[in-house]
Chains A and B, each alone.
Chain A
Amino acid sequence: MTPWLTILLTLPAAGLLLTMLLPAGSNQLLKRVSLGTTLLQLLVGFGLLLPAYLQKLPDNQGFALHEKWQWIRLDMGTAGFLNIEYHLGLDGMGILMVLLTCMVMPLVVLSSWNNQHRNKLYFVLLQLLNLSILGCFMSLDFFLFYLFFEFMLLPMFFLIGLWGGEKREYAAIKFFLYTLFGSVFMLLVMAGLGFSFIDPDLTASLGRTVHTLDFLHMSGLADGTYPNLVAGSVFSHGYSLFGLDARALAFWVLLIGFAIKLPSVPFHTWLPDAHVQASTPISVILAALLLKVGGYGILRIAFGIFPEAALSSATWVAGLGMISILYGALVAMSQRDLKSLIAYSSVSHMGFVLLGLASFQAVGISGAVLQMFNHGVISSALFLLAGVLSDRTHDRTLSNYRGLWMKMPVYSAFVLVAFFASMGLPGLNGFVSEMMVFMGAFGSTEGYVSVFAAISVIGIVLAAVYYLRTFRQMFMGEFSYLGTGDSGSLQDLDGREKTLLVPLAVLMVLLGIFPSLATSLFDQSLSEYVSNLIQVAKP
């Protein structure tokens, strides 16, 4: 059996080593090496990993391509062992996210082509980030996941802080502290989980209790029981902390940790700062990949380990989603900077992910996962498009532009497609996933989820308002430029920019017309996963 996932993980590592070996001054070479390794990653992802995934039947709880190696066995004295494994595997959601990462990374490298200073450090950090994002989507052991999850922060911190706008250091530290705040509490949950679940096979073979952090051992059965849960442990049923149910508390800790990353209102305030200050490629990674780790984490970890707590909190989760959708859209309407408009629209669109997850319906959760993928594609395009403008005039103020269509028709056409996709116009990919989210949420019988869904529909209207208004203001009418930048520099897209945008636009249309291209990848495994969650939560 070929270890495809490890092979995919070694590609960024190889790129990293290669970049480190190159001399610091060789700018072109550094860029080419990074582009080469990320393209190879794309090739391996789609050409080898995907066929291997499709051929191999999932063998354990819907996961395929398992790689499992003994890594660490901590002796905990009277409590037995804590066993940590290098355990990778993919289910439908995992492969979708891994493919998204493979797809976005070459675009990020290509859009960094004009990066001026300290290229070596830049590409080293980029590859580190690439590695840790891929690792996050593949890990099936909480410890391994946590390592990758935390390790994402440092390269991102430096990438925002070194290559960003004027207030980049402030934005970088804000990003770091917000995310860290969420993840340190997650560490406490992990410490508790370390005493709560056992690995039945190892316990039998070693003759001592072997605790595990493997996600697969933490799942419950259809009758609502957890076969590997240690009775009397912190996360066993009925255990309370500070007078609260320990499992519900842990669920909320995890949810908030990932909601900060997602980000959901009210934990979102780091995002606009980070986006506005970060350079274009970094914004693309942030929006397209880093936010997805949040959604992924909620479904895989918060919902996966504590399904009954998730089900009973569904109304609240949906409420958070609704507030994110509406608040994000309302704030986006009043933005004057194109990038912060897109950032707030991201907040709004990630709200749909929460709403879909809270529906506890197969279609809704599938919609949420598809929304993550679609948002990855659309937001990449949007941030690249905003980058085109700031490359030319260093000015992203909406009101400074009029009639850009006259000057830059190709650019404007791409903007139109991306705007339409983002606001959910039928025929483009955003529509499909939002539709699925609403179908799921309306069908939900939990609490007020369907009510919140109905209110959230306003968000779509608001999105149309701010996108159309922006489009009319910036692109229609006679051309004029009111800012201080050089209006002569407003040339239409060059070859490199077209290369970046064409694949994204094609994907938007293609997935809008044939959503099954993406959904067929995860439909079956996800609906099994969800039906298992529901059965565990409602035995």
Chain B
Amino acid sequence: MTAIKSTRRKFLRMAALAGGSLALAACTPAVVERTVVVEKEVEKVVTQVVERTVVVEKEPTPVEQVMVGAFDVGPHGCPQCYDPLKRSVGYWWLTKMWAPLAFWDETGTKAIPELAESWEPTSDDGRVWRITLRPGLKWSDGEPLTMNDLRYQFRLMYNPEYAGERAVTGARYFVGGEAYAKGEADDITGIKVLDDLTIELTYVDPMPILNVSDIYFEFAEHFWSQFTPAEIASGQHYGDARPCCGPFMWSRWVKDQYTEAVANPYYWRGRPKLDKLINRYFDNETTAVLALQRGEIDFTYIGRDVVPSLKRVPGYTVIAGSSGVANFIALNFREPIIQDLRVRQAMIYALDREKIIETLYLGTAQKLNCLFSQAQFNPSDLTDYPYDPEKAKALLAEANFTQEAEWELITYYSDQLSTNVMQAIQKYWADVGIKVRPRTVDVPTFNSFQPIGKDWVVSYIGQSHFRGARDAMGRWANDQRPDALGECKNMHGCYPSIDEVTADLKIATSSLDGAARLEATLNVARTMNAELTDIWMWAAERYGAVNDRVKNFKFAPLPANAGFYDQSELWEIVP
């Protein structure tokens, strides 16, 4: 009796659950797809543009010029990040639709003017910069693109109604910015539009180099001014079809699946060869690779592990590029034994970095002896620290090295290659008597304790370095993390020569004398190498794979803010 009761009971419960859930599913109103609504609006814009493009368009090419790529797979990507306040990476796809003032080339050293024709400092103290746009630029709906749009964008970004607290941190670089961001002033005095093509920016601190690739023309004034800042901040309009100034323009965003962009006939370099460019979203890199091999997509970022097999498959090209990220083992000087230079030297002598590069990276990484991989930032007198376990053991004995307990080697990298690297490090150090245990944590956990120097002794991390000293400020200068534990407000704690390095970094980022900047950067490199503020490892390559039917394709796996010129208007499908 008990048995029958429980089964029938269970059955009825589940039937009710099923019925309830079906009812729930059925009743959700055309909840749906914002895309349906958005598409209707988009169709209006697209048909308008198409009518105009009929006039402008060249002979239609025989092959369908539609390229599908997984542009947001990989560490540089941020799928569906259309809210500027909530993204820190993901700029590569954005540059397809909204162009910056200038691009970098793949090496990150040469600026390639894009929307801006020229830019120069107009004051002796390097605080005032004048930027001139090319004449005749237009948005994708035909409206002229002027510096008024840029001013509108600055005003929006630093408007407290739009950006809240972030308005202040962003605006304070400009004269009069902080007052505006706090709501005390109506306008930013440091941003002046001289005429349609010229803008004058006045910075609070001297700016030796202007980062023109960081400034995107994302907000067209004539479109966005119809909404209040608060409305824009709510995020409901980021799915709208809005004016674009890049090679492609917004067509539609099918949520959670892909974003479609079509050729922008008003692009200043000329209408792109491709008709449609689609960015498809994947939850899993393996699926993206399978789709690439199947021919469903034409490009994806690939991890190191996949490179050997793809290289052997005909019809695909594996593109390698410097990642712009230096990998190293950060040291926490709050642990007393780390403060002994001999211990640090032992740690680096104990590692056969070349062997790891040769076997795990298959020779595709560049060994580092300081933070920078660029030749111009590496002084010729750096010590190399070749693999020498005997020397390491001797140094440790000299320093009376003891550990209270096993150290944890913390990292946030979860890919197979990095896991293998961590275990190789563990083995090399164990061979000389340093005991560590690799531990991978996720990014939020990592960010909650590692940057303030809490609860770790060694951690394997990466740092973008292709901008030189600017990239080193955050982790080597003394005043960057007021919340860090201990006296020195730095991730490392008080490492030797921290004050000198801080002074050098300040010179390297703000001096107007190019030679002085270079010398300061070289000094920083020398200190990093001699004092071993960290155990330097390598700068690895990262990869993308593209179907050979796409011609003129360029890819540089640089992280986040690095807007590089990928000549996307020249991409063409030739079977």
Asked whether A and B interact, the reply is no
A residues adjacent to B (C-beta < 8 A)? none
B residues adjacent to A (C-beta < 8 A)? none
